[in-house]
Structure 1
């Protein structure tokens, strides 16, 4: 029987080709949002022969494994006849030449995957690749790299990457075989069901097969956790792509889920489990920013992570706070990023609500694409009402702006002063029509969006290239503006 691996281009190249440091001055949620915006603007300006966001896929059979590799190219340019160009767009606040030099093998590897898939699908012997670099905040500043590849070279290179990835995946294959065998033998871990448990388990299992949502209200002590986790575990054996997310707002909820899983493991179950601990609680460098200049555990993270993951997967299958921090400390890497990367190879992920529901901190690696294969158990779901209200709310205060401006009063950085002056004018527009105090605003002045977007781009640039200017007050204000910007993007008539 062949093994099956469904793999995205990002998973492949991010794991094998990304090198260097964790640096939130360059790679962060603000720069990602701005990058998406600039992608759209750039694509909209192209000619009619430019196809944007082209979905591609290819199948490969390597060493007994059927692989589905899939992804989405930023652009395909048809130059006429059989001439095509794959366009891969990258945006950054960093100097473009520096950014390209540091990430070329990673970026080019991604583009070559798309080029290979498109050439294969269209019977092309040759195909061009273009890497388009755009400077955030200075969109006219661009850098273009152009390449030409023949199909056979692309096929050889991509299959080489797939072979390298399979070296790690074979660890997962062996663990999954053991997991599946133990799931088949697994029985309910108590001698008998309590009242209502069997019915709940049947309903939960039906959800895994038919989809949909099940809301359960039952008294404390009935055994809801084991009655839902047990059928969800049994369902993994039928779907090799699914992960179980156990979402809870409290540590007691995490402990209850972990206890239930350990009970099933005591009865013979072999399964990979991880508990995601909040970044501020697991961080080794509290109070420091996530970049190599401030945190030693960010240094060369992506150079080390492949070896760390191999070690972790070969030696452990239950990753709680103690195990994660021990391994991370031994290898001198960030424990939080390690836990997120490790989660890709887990069967059960126990974490807070926000990793699924928060529009800023949700786990994009799972929930930006096809989520239909995943299963979610939400502990005490009634708490989501208040939590979601806070997740989808944001505020800006004039007092925090004044504190930030006061903290940089001696700065001579012109772009920072200009950005703060624009924000002062924006606040001034609202102060002219509103009394001092708290206000819920449903209609925004036209320049609000532009001013906030410009401010975020400038502050990203300052954070990377003039980091000494980032006072604690300015950083706090910047983060609040970033969150407010995200809520502005989401704001619509559905808001209450």
Structure 2
């Protein structure tokens, strides 16, 4: 028998063949991953010496190989066990979910018969309640012949699809082997990047690549990664970006390549639920949303239609169109399609976050994945957010005032206990900011008991919709999950919402009955321990950006493997394209803001007078921005200018950018690190210069000083650089990079602060810049 054309995991086979009925996402409490593993260990420990755990099994049906790991085999009772951990009442479980579990258990029963030559076996579903540690067992006795019939029925339902997928894979690889670059020639530096991506992908390495703006990084990474897929038998390419603009560039590049002869490549765009929900405000189950009703019954035809037309790129609108024709949810159709496409374009969170769908599918199916991480300088902050959590007094207050708390005495009592412990903790806090070596034990206990009460209430009342209580529940569950993996990569801190002007003595005298007035956070500082497993899960990865300097900083914080490859692509631009001037007479330090305003205004006005056109001016805060803008308006009212505002909506952002035309003139005022400091493209006369009235250094405060101290400990005394200097200068280079976008562009950048002349700062700026006015 030759090699199988297609392989599938037991879980995925049964998800394909045994799911039926409604999409039902009514919240029920679920164990965390660690709780689930602990539950499996406890069940196994009870079984005795004849129990085998985690048994790798596989079997063939025609050209389909099915594989998986059975939870356990009890030789004494001659039974295979499928163990499912749960919380709450088991009798609330849907019949469809129970049947799915049975389908998996029976398939494992057959695989065990094949492996051991059994003629019969008992098959058990074992449900283990995490909270009570009680087991509920359901047992069936099967002959091997009957189990084989069940197995072949499942495989038969899948095999036609499997053969279709094998044919698609063959056509895909054939197309990729002959795929030509979508453009007539590579740009300067683009070929170097492409060759490095190809080598890393074929060799199974992680590549960290700094490549300047304007060389075509998107096309220069996607093309070589696709070319590498056939030779290394890579199943999927994931292109992940932090911003919508980056994902759109990837989709455009993939459209170009498909037009070059790779139309058989299946490309899927994944978007956030809130952007694709057809019935906002409706719960995700058949009683509340018509697109959830009968979802799994109609899914097979919708899936087949979506993948039948090779010329169709499955962007958001295409998926929506197919879904609505079949009367199912577009968002969850896209999640199902992720299993069957070649390229997924989506946000970081789909792979890096807890419970990221693409990560889960990769691990469940043993996929060989190539990963492209766009604008990778954003990953550190995004990952910090993914692995951080904060408990807020507002969320607790809203939960206590929720309809559920009013109607459910047990929930109300549990919330009151949390409030009591939280307020008591506040009385011990002398300063506005405090760091705890461990999470306060009494509060943690109250939170855990509260979550048990809330979870059981939702399990008993699955139709309950209570946004306030659910929001607080999500905050607490994230905290409890992160506490399972606490280490020196994170801080536990407490920050008073409003600084108390009273003395410490009066602060301690506050009673525990008072409502909590502090935020309590688990604040991730170094995502590396969390992200390391992500790099291990993929065959190869390329992280790329125009600003990854110094590269050891990103490698350290992102947890890249020791054998990762680093590449710095030379800039295609020359110093005569960009005039970089350092205004050493200006200090934008907070203490000097007042006197700097007039100096900044005069420099902007002088530059505009010498060369009228479009400029961006970047500042460290909205207050400083408004201060300078008002002064410019008073002293030079003839200069057009427009301002970025706080919480700018997308339509307002588009209006802001629309003022930058080939013939317009004026100054756009923006905040460094905001929406206009990266990811925007204003070539030619649309933008001819930038003013940077800041080094971008994070604010000096108690939190950042704690981060600096921790970075000093973890990274050999480089705390200041890791906390302040490197992140700040990265934002500066990103913002300045808006000026020169093509080899034809010419422009000027004014670095308005004397600190830009310092050696340690200058070495972090692009090597091709020639700074004027920076010499001592």
1:208 to 188, 201, 209: 201
2:179 to 186, 191, 194: 186
1:382 to 364, 377, 385: 377
Other structure's SS at 1:490 match: coil
Root-mean-square deviation (CA, aligned residues, Å) is 2.7
Looking at structure 2, the residues matched to 385 and 371 of structure 1 have their Cα atoms a distance apart, in angstroms, of: 27
Other structure's SS at 1:298 match: coil
Residue in structure 2 matched with residue 19 of structure 1 by the alignment: 20
Residue 56 of structure 1 contacts residue 117 of structure 1 at CA under 8 Å; is this kept in 2?
A: no
Report the CA distance between 1:37 and its aligned residue.
4.8
Summarize deviations over 1:169-225 as a string: whole Å, max 9, x none.
Answer: 233233223222222221122222222222222211111221111111122111221
Residue in structure 1 matched with residue 211 of structure 2 by the alignment: 218
Summarize deviations over 1:104-127 as a string: whole Å, max 9, x none.
Answer: 431111011212222221221111
Per mean C-alpha deviation after superposition, the further-off stretch among 263-272 and 194-203 is: 194-203
Looking at structure 2, the residues matched to 445 and 73 of structure 1 have their Cα atoms a distance apart, in angstroms, of: 39
Alignment CA distance shift 1:372-1:25 (3 Å):
closer
Looking at structure 2, the residues matched to 42 and 461 of structure 1 have their Cα atoms a distance apart, in angstroms, of: 22
Greater share of helix residues, 1 or 2? 1
Residue 14 of structure 2 contacts residue 103 of structure 2 at CA under 8 Å; is this kept in 1?
A: yes
Alignment CA distance shift 1:99-1:475 (3 Å):
closer
Residue in structure 2 matched with residue 156 of structure 1 by the alignment: 149
Other structure's SS at 1:186 match: coil
Other structure's SS at 1:86 match: strand
Other structure's SS at 2:181 match: coil
Report the CA distance between 1:272 and its aligned residue.
0.1
Looking at structure 2, the residues matched to 92 and 429 of structure 1 have their Cα atoms a distance apart, in angstroms, of: 33
Length, aligned pairs only: 488
**Moved runs in structure 1, 4+ residues, more than 6 A?**
none
Residue 55 of structure 2 contacts residue 72 of structure 2 at CA under 8 Å; is this kept in 1?
A: no
Report the CA distance between 1:243 and its aligned residue.
0.4
Per mean C-alpha deviation after superposition, the further-off stretch among 163-172 and 130-139 is: 130-139
Looking at structure 2, the residues matched to 126 and 184 of structure 1 have their Cα atoms a distance apart, in angstroms, of: 48
1:357 to 325, 339, 352: 352
Alignment CA distance shift 1:413-1:131 (3 Å):
same
Per mean C-alpha deviation after superposition, the further-off stretch among 301-310 and 369-378 is: 369-378
2:439 to 444, 459, 462: 444
Residue in structure 2 matched with residue 170 of structure 1 by the alignment: 163
Looking at structure 2, the residues matched to 69 and 381 of structure 1 have their Cα atoms a distance apart, in angstroms, of: 37
**TM-score for both structures, normalised by structure 2:** 0.59
Residue in structure 2 matched with residue 99 of structure 1 by the alignment: 93
Looking at structure 2, the residues matched to 457 and 303 of structure 1 have their Cα atoms a distance apart, in angstroms, of: 34
Q: Is residue 58 of structure 1 aligned with residue 55 of structure 2?
A: no
Residue in structure 2 matched with residue 341 of structure 1 by the alignment: 336
1:198 to 191, 194, 199: 191
Q: Is residue 78 of structure 1 aligned with residue 90 of structure 2?
A: no
Report the CA distance between 1:319 and its aligned residue.
0.5
Residue 29 of structure 2 contacts residue 459 of structure 2 at CA under 8 Å; is this kept in 1?
A: no
Residue in structure 1 matched with residue 251 of structure 2 by the alignment: 258
1:302 to 289, 296, 300: 296
Looking at structure 2, the residues matched to 304 and 32 of structure 1 have their Cα atoms a distance apart, in angstroms, of: 31
Residue 356 of structure 1 contacts residue 367 of structure 1 at CA under 8 Å; is this kept in 2?
A: no
Summarize deviations over 1:282-339 as a string: whole Å, max 9, x none.
Answer: 1112123323333222222222222221221113541111111111112221211110
Residue in structure 2 matched with residue 423 of structure 1 by the alignment: 418
Per mean C-alpha deviation after superposition, the further-off stretch among 214-223 and 344-353 is: 214-223
Alignment CA distance shift 1:401-1:97 (3 Å):
closer
Alignment CA distance shift 1:165-1:58 (3 Å):
same
Alignment CA distance shift 1:183-1:301 (3 Å):
same
Residue 30 of structure 1 contacts residue 482 of structure 1 at CA under 8 Å; is this kept in 2?
A: no
Residue 14 of structure 2 contacts residue 104 of structure 2 at CA under 8 Å; is this kept in 1?
A: yes
Residue 198 of structure 1 contacts residue 227 of structure 1 at CA under 8 Å; is this kept in 2?
A: yes
Which structure 2 residues correspond to residues 230-379 of structure 1 after superposition, within 5 A? 230-269=223-262, 270-315=264-309, 317-369=312-364, 373-379=368-374
Per mean C-alpha deviation after superposition, the further-off stretch among 32-41 and 245-254 is: 32-41
- Structure 1 unmatched ranges of 5 or more: none
